[in-house]
Structure 1
Amino acid sequence: MTCLPRKQHLQFRGPIVHYIFLLLYNWLLHFRLNIQTHFRAKLQSLEQKMEKGQLRAYKAHCLILPYPSQGHINPMLQFAKLLDHKEVRVTLVTTRFLYKTMHSSGSSCAAWETISDGFDDTGKGDTNIDIYLERFRQVGSKTLAKLLEKLSNSGSPVDCVVYDAFMPWPLDVAKKLGIAGAVFFTQSCAVDNVYYHVHRGLLKLPLADGQSQILLPGLPALDPLDLPSFVSDCGSCPAVYRMLVGQLSNVDKADWVLCNTFYDLEEQVVDWMAKLWRLRTVGPTIPSNYLNKRLKDDKEYSVNLFKSDNDACIKWLNERPKGSVAYVSFGSLAELEDEQMEELAWGLRRSKSSFLWVVRESEATKVPKGFIEETSEKGLVVSWCPQMEVLAHEAVGCFVTHCGWNSTLEALSLGVPMVALPQWSDQHTNAKYIMDVWEVGVRAPTDEKGVVRQVLVKQCISEVMEGERGKEIQKNAAKWKELARKAVDEGGSSDKNIDEFIAKLQTQS
């Protein structure tokens, strides 16, 4: 091969270098344009996500763990929505079995995670409550700790575990990992106060024979039958009694005590209990659409363990005059005796009012034979319904209720008068307040067997929906509705308490 002279070689190399330089320049220019396009697209994507609320700067991260039942999930899920609205990241936690059985409307306020209660495949079923709670404590503690570690390792550590008072053990798990803990009470402060005095031995049980009144700080004078049923009759269900009193077992170690109530509703007892702990009222935790509409499209709790025919209920109500319907429901757990169910049914038939009666599938066989057909022109019986939407409907004139705390708060928040038929647990204390303290309803008297007879069912509905006393009750109901709205509105007592809770989390995180 003949080599070119050096001069010719340099002359030949010049165009090649220039050509390579042009190629490199064009490549760099193209690369720069690609980078600009890529980052512009990324920026647009981030902006779109921020507009949709998919990407946010959070003030803190709360893990919320309700006891696995409808009445406990609802208020704590609603609290989660309020935190999310105030720019707190929320992780909701339930058991693996319950997660598989939930009916969700697709609420996007929080991510769901699961832990084990030891009954992942079958649920607790008829398992003894003592056995279930102990198994849940053992297995739940381990799986909750793993979940908290997973969230920490993913770059989003939890700042506070908000746990249901029915399960004290999540606080122990949180403390071991250096995380703050806030206990969330889903019953009234009045009831919590009773359990506190029992737990501390300040209210001696069983009650003395002939004891006519119980005097506790912050509460009105209570008759024995005004106390929670597991206190007035502490031997009726020892396992549940231990669980309810056990709510206070480690409450002194909690960083916060949050209560689903509002200050004006229970002012005296809240003031007294706030001397013991950092207690704050954060309720009523019900969908915002029925209070102040601060949360967009917040019309329901978003999670149900029961299926309901919403359209049929509302269509039926739409055909009824204003204030003409007695809405009857005993919640997700209460079970009426056959005799009480029959008396209630015939009382509704004898009443002048139309009625919408929720009878869960598990209770359906207790409805008297032929009753549904005989009353089809004035009544509708369903297995479940959208309670908030029903209570808000103008056709509803009163709520015949078991006085569960969620139902009581919902009726108060919507200004619906009540006929109280308490069955068990905290419901007797709530009924006392409904009739004698808040004066928003009447308590149906029972006979020596503890049954409300049909004539009294009819009489109580008539008393609330008609006559002079009914007008006074309706006026009081409207007053509490307004006070509930003010509590959760911007600057209201519950709203300020939630803001304070968040601010403290920010300083510690």
Structure 2
Amino acid sequence: MENSNTNNSNSIPNQTQKPHAILIALPLQGHVIPFAQLAIKLASKGFSITLINTHHIHHQITLSTATTTTSTGGGDIFVEARTSLGLDIEYMTVSDGLPLEFDRSLNHDQWVGANIHTLPAHLEVAVAKIVGSRSSNTCCLVIDSYFVWSSKLAAKFGLVHVSFWTEPAMVLDIYFHRHFLKEYGHIGPGSSLRKDLIHYIPGITSLKRTDLTSYLQDEDLTSFHPQYNFSSLDDTRKAHFILGNTVQELEAQLISAIEAHVPFYAIGPIFSPTFTKSPVATSLWAESDCTQWLDSKPPSSVLYISFGSYAHITKDELMEIANGIKLSGVNFLWVIRPDMVSSDDPDPLPVGFRDEVGDRGMIVTWTCQIAVLSHRAVGGFLTHCGWNSALESIWCEVPLLCLPLLTDQFTNRKILVDDWKIGRNLCEEKPITKEEVLQKVKEIMHGSMGFELSDRIKGIKKVLEKAMMIDGSSSKNLDRFIKDLNIAMGNKFG
């Protein structure tokens, strides 16, 4: 399938005098969202932007918006950003080498293989066209840190390699110093028996082995997924700069440890300019409007439940959670994706569950998360601990009930529960039981624990707000990055 390119017919004059950045996100919704917002942020600072998406992700976005009033401008998700904000952003899609209808979520190995072997070939053709058409003003490739070929692609076209890290700095710090974990025997064969604290990672006081990312917890580190992750993070160490969706004040020591290897700029949280409504469509499923149902519920009475856009949960785990929720008696809004449960069962919920909970429960396949979290009726969030979800919940001052499932989510849980103390573990140890779900839900929704978490989350939000101000650390770090990029380019755009 050939590259499809949607050009900006209303491009800003004299664009050859502006620095041009090409952005390439990992083709997952949790990565595309911050990349789209980064495109807006950089464009608002005077950059000309081209964001490259995959045909598959774009196809999913187009399908999800087909029944809504949101327009994708004939296939261009940045139409509104250009018309309403006057930003110079172009949009291009390429094939990842897999058929559009292929289920990437349930065939993870094949999807990762495509990212390694076929996607970069299509991207190289696309970047060559972009650079050839713009000649003098393409200055950098801003590429997701979870690709293994980024430095080679940037070097081939003589562009500055900027790695965009969409997770907390702690995760990157751990990956950058994983050789210590291997040396001390906390990863690799036999490491699952280790219960002692890890206290030798630069910038981290202590953590448990279970706080490591899921791939570092695998005893067989020679298997496909750990090796892919290690290769991608080793390539990130070759970047000229790293942009991070985090806040300097919250992870200062971790950022210092990372900067011993690569310059790191904390520019988060990277939200839409108005937070609750983004000018860019990025949802992969049609969103249910839950406003009317939420409006009917008392303030802080609803538990929002969502395990993100990609991670899976077993049928047994879902059954225990559902029964615990039912016993708790709380109001709840639950997002259950069609592909979320590792089962072919079209309705994985317990028989009769929907009838038994009645109007106190609303179950949807997808919804606008920021709209839900910002609603006055929502008082708690049962989450997989994805980093976007964590930042959005903090901004909306909603306490977290944590159930990490995959990758960075285990480390994110440590930050949220142990370090910042704005969340609670759903279960201390697996397997999940309905009794523990019942207890934890009641504590966070009706007990003193919920009030304690709410108080602390307000303090973390103030740090985020201050960082995002004109004279805040995130704003200053973005300006510093632009200045350093300009110096790296020989003051080409000064």
Kindly report which structure 2 residues correspond to 1:354-433, keeping only aligned pairs within 5 A, or say none. Answer: 354-362=331-339, 363=341, 365-433=347-415
State the shift of 1:139 in Å: 3.4
Aligned-CA RMSD value: 2.6
Match 2:209 to one of 219, 224, 236: 224
**2:175 alignment counterpart:** 195
CA distance in 2, matches of 1:356, 1:375: 11
Match 1:334 to one of 308, 311, 314: 311
Kindly report which structure 2 residues correspond to 1:253-264, keeping only aligned pairs within 5 A, or say none. Answer: 253-264=238-249
8 Å contact kept, 1:116–1:136: no
Kindly report which structure 2 residues correspond to 1:108-507, keeping only aligned pairs within 5 A, or say none. Answer: 108=79, 109=81, 110-123=89-102, 125=104, 132-155=111-134, 157-198=137-178, 201-202=182-183, 204=185, 205-206=187-188, 207=191, 209-215=193-199, 216-235=201-220, 238-290=223-275, 298-299=277-278, 302-310=281-289, 313-362=290-339, 363=341, 365-447=347-429, 450-507=430-487
Q: SS of the counterpart of 1:235?
A: coil
State the shift of 1:387 in Å: 0.2
State the shift of 1:218 in Å: 1.4
Amino acid in structure 2 at the alignment position of 1:439: K
Amino acid in structure 2 at the alignment position of 1:209: L
State how many pairs are aligned. Answer: 450
**1:21 alignment counterpart:** none
CA distance in 2, matches of 1:442, 1:74: 26
Q: What are the ranges of 5 or more consecutive residues in structure 1 without an aligned counterpart?
A: 1-48, 291-296
Q: What are the ranges of 5 or more consecutive residues in structure 2 without an aligned counterpart?
A: 1-7, 73-77, 82-88
Once the two structures are overlaid, the 10-residue window that deviates more, 68-77 or 452-461, is 452-461
Q: SS of the counterpart of 1:335?
A: coil
CA distance in 2, matches of 1:486, 1:72: 24
Amino acid in structure 2 at the alignment position of 1:397: G
Query: Structure 2 vs 1, CA of residues 333 and 126 (structure 1 numbering), >3 Å: closer, same or farther?
Result: closer
State the shift of 1:181 in Å: 0.7
8 Å contact kept, 2:104–2:111: no
Query: Structure 2 vs 1, CA of residues 118 and 282 (structure 1 numbering), >3 Å: closer, same or farther?
Result: same
Amino acid in structure 2 at the alignment position of 1:387: Q
Amino acid in structure 2 at the alignment position of 1:483: V
8 Å contact kept, 1:96–1:120: no
CA distance in 2, matches of 1:144, 1:97: 14
8 Å contact kept, 1:188–1:260: yes
Deviations 1:436-456 (A, max 9, x none): 111101112245xx2222222
Query: Structure 2 vs 1, CA of residues 55 and 387 (structure 1 numbering), >3 Å: closer, same or farther?
Result: farther
Amino acid in structure 1 at the alignment position of 2:143: Y
CA distance in 2, matches of 1:494, 1:203: 35
CA distance in 1, matches of 2:467, 2:356: 44
Which protein shows a greater Rg?
Answer: 1
8 Å contact kept, 1:228–1:425: yes
8 Å contact kept, 2:427–2:437: no
CA distance in 1, matches of 2:105, 2:404: 24
Query: Structure 2 vs 1, CA of residues 250 and 424 (structure 1 numbering), >3 Å: closer, same or farther?
Result: closer
CA distance in 2, matches of 1:124, 1:351: 35
**More helix, by proportion:** 1
CA distance in 1, matches of 2:60, 2:194: 47
8 Å contact kept, 1:196–1:245: no
